[in-house]
Copies of this chain bind each other. A is one copy, B any other.
Amino acid sequence: MTKSPAPERPKLGEFLCFAVYSANLAFGRAYRPILEKLGLTYTQYVALVALWERDDQTVSELGEKMFLESNTLTPILKKLEQSGFIERRRDPADERQVRIRLTAKGSELRNHEIGNELFDATGLGDSFFDVQKSVAKLRDNLMRSLGD
């Protein structure tokens, strides 16, 4: 959306949703060549970051942090398993759940300093953190508005 009192002819450049959409495309393009060298896609990388934060999560837990459902996550996790970054195993205590664990190969990547070179590319300087917080808040507000 644009703003509360909408202009007669809304312009793409005034849409917050489009700014977010296109910034996401830009991040995807910026990350791709970096992650490609490691044999990772962006979403796979996000899953690894979530697992570095806490290992041994179920698909749902991981999905909650990534804002994804199992139908999206399952194929991604299977790829990560094929590539040897993680292990997928049914929980013996509750066979409905699949627990995701990092392998040694998956843990190692943690020290790779993957996206740091992109800090400068954002060109935000000191406002980096403010923008990060604002966008996270925006996301949380939108997500909450869906749940009601």
Contacts and interface: CB of A to CB of B under 8 A. Distances in A.
| Interface band, chain A | 35 or more
Contact of A17 (B10, B27, B110, B146): B27
A2 B132 CA distance: 9
B115 A15 contact: yes
A121 interface: yes
Number of copies of chain A assembled together? 2
A147 to B, nearest CB: 10
Interface in A33-74: 42, 46, 49-50, 52-53, 65-68
B135 A16 contact: yes
Contacts of A53: 9, 11-12
A29 B123 contact: no
Contacts of A139: 19, 22-23, 25-26
A9 B69 CA distance: 25
